[in-house]
Homo-oligomer: A and B are copies of this chain.
């Protein structure tokens, strides 16, 4: 998808350039990047992303840098496909490969949220409906406890009018991050959602269980009557367990994608 590389990126990171491009935040352990690439394939294998969507990781020692794959289908990502970016969405060291237009989602969430180390953006069909209607997404069970504090909805049209729906520059990324606030998940009207975590495995865990909880909520809604979702305090208590449970789920999911 070369054509989608925005002009600012192209000029900064084009082949032969690199002089004005941001420097790398420093070399990171190969195992960390292997996990990030696996996370991408896991999200595809678990049905959270399809041909689109992406997951990123903040540089472990340089908070103003993050890694994300070049523009490609998440099911195919390998460590070599990862590119390091600055929080302005510019590829470090002049990496010339095509970038995701929506890398500004990641960049601006990292800028606004020092607690966040990993970001997932997806369009899971079961999640999109909650960005289209008034019914709020709620936490249907303990594995989705992080939803109990509320899930805001970002409607790009509110500030930017009619657009192509993409968060394709820093200004839109900043507004998305503002609407997200301190939440772990923000819905995007007629588009998808963003899920964040304090580490990669938690972000993946939350992305998977946001999708599962959405499925449950569709069916619970159809049964009628009030839904006894997790309360806020239950959510806080249960989510503390999830932070550890993510490790167990990762073992299974990573094995399925050959990691």
Contact = CB atoms under 8 A, between A and B. Distances in A.
A237 interface: yes
B228 A189 contact: yes
Contacts of A1: 244-245, 247-248
A74 to B, nearest CB: 9
Interface residues of A, number: 72
A190 interface: yes
Nearest to A153: B228
Given A162-B231, A223-B221, A216 B133 contact: no
A143 interface: yes
A135 interface: yes
A191 interface: yes
Copies of this protein in the complex: 4
Given A125-B216, A216-B129, A163 B234 contact: yes
A203 to B, nearest CB: 15
A125 B215 contact: yes
Contact of A228 (B72, B190, B215): B190
Interface of A: 1, 3-4, 50-52, 71-73, 75-76, 101, 123, 125-126, 128-135, 139-143, 145, 155, 157, 162-166, 189-192, 212, 215-216, 218-231, 233-234, 237-238, 240-241, 244-245, 247-249, 251-253, 255
Given A3-B244, A133-B224, A163 B125 contact: no
A213 B133 CA distance: 15
A6 B215 CA distance: 32
A241 B162 contact: no
